[in-house]
Structure 1
């Protein structure tokens, strides 16, 4: 009897573990409960953006890839902001606050810009150290993509069209 029971239980336990593992791997992590403070001093709780697709972009004024992607980020933001898309640009702690302010003004960044002076935001987003690093957060507040390096704007627009129901 114990031998028969073992033959039945072991496969059931294995199937159960595999099902749990598969479920765990498909679950997207929730974005951290964080408040961004813009250069103007406005507080934006990330939770207040639920219901929108959000791109959190960690960048620096001395990062060539960050500077190269900014025009595309501005263009994408302007094209999708009225369709439920938000961008929060988070300047890294090592970036001088005055450099961030100057860059933001000189380039008329149309989305909220935050300076991560304490490094807290980078730490809450899995200890970001490389710029540019972007996180795409769905309408339910789950991180659905982490992208290191310059954004592929064709892929981003395709994703936004799918998620926002704006595909033509």
Structure 2
């Protein structure tokens, strides 16, 4: 976008630079829609995410193949201990674990690479997080899912690893429950 600094723009320039110009608005909205569709296109493929070869670590440092999540519906949230929205979301993720884990859904919190394990462990204890917590030490998880750059980033995968829902920011619990109810019916 060009910022005009003319003190006396011509009437023609004012008309074409006006944000209320319908043609310009359609172009901007269409471009934004295309970018969103392009950005999600790789995530929503029929074959699921390509998780082969990507690893994360449990809090003891043991390597976990990320493709081990296939086979069950999975909730995975990328989070950080220093992210206020992530901390706010923890009770909701815990509720999902308590409700859907008995129905076969894996619930995983994947801490970002910049979080020290000791800080993650303190948060897990403080917030009584009983769902699976992994550490994306080498950023392989973040790369496999997008790349993920913003927390919280939340995903629901079906048992084949296909993304059923994704959300950056706080989740819509009613919508999430509806999707998980459908995957566990």
Output one character per residue of 1:88-131: Cα deviation in whole Å (capped at 9) or x when no partner: 11111122221111101222211111121222211221111100
Aligned length: 142
Partners of 2:180 and 2:150 lie apart in 1 by 24
* Cα shift at 1:36: 3.0
Aligned residue in 1 for 2:155: 135
Aligned residue in 1 for 2:114: 94
Q: Secondary structure at the match of 1:58?
A: strand
* Cα shift at 1:43: 4.3
CA RMSD of aligned residues (A): 2.0
Q: Give 1:1-168 correspondences, 5 Å limit.
A: 27-28=45-46, 30-31=48-49, 32-33=51-52, 34-165=54-185
* Cα shift at 1:29: 5.0
Q: Secondary structure at the match of 1:113?
A: strand
* Cα shift at 1:42: 4.5
Partners of 1:77 and 1:156 lie apart in 2 by 12
Partners of 1:79 and 1:130 lie apart in 2 by 26
Output one character per residue of 1:66-90: Cα deviation in whole Å (capped at 9) or x when no partner: 1111001101111110101111111
CA contact (8 A) 1:58 1:90 kept: yes
TM-score for both structures, normalised by structure 2 = 0.69
Q: Secondary structure at the match of 2:81?
A: coil
Aligned residue in 2 for 1:9: none
Partners of 1:97 and 1:144 lie apart in 2 by 30
CA contact (8 A) 1:28 1:143 kept: no
Gaps of 5+ in 1: 1-23
Output one character per residue of 1:122-163: Cα deviation in whole Å (capped at 9) or x when no partner: 122111110000121101221222211111111111111111
Partners of 1:145 and 1:101 lie apart in 2 by 28
* Cα shift at 1:45: 3.1
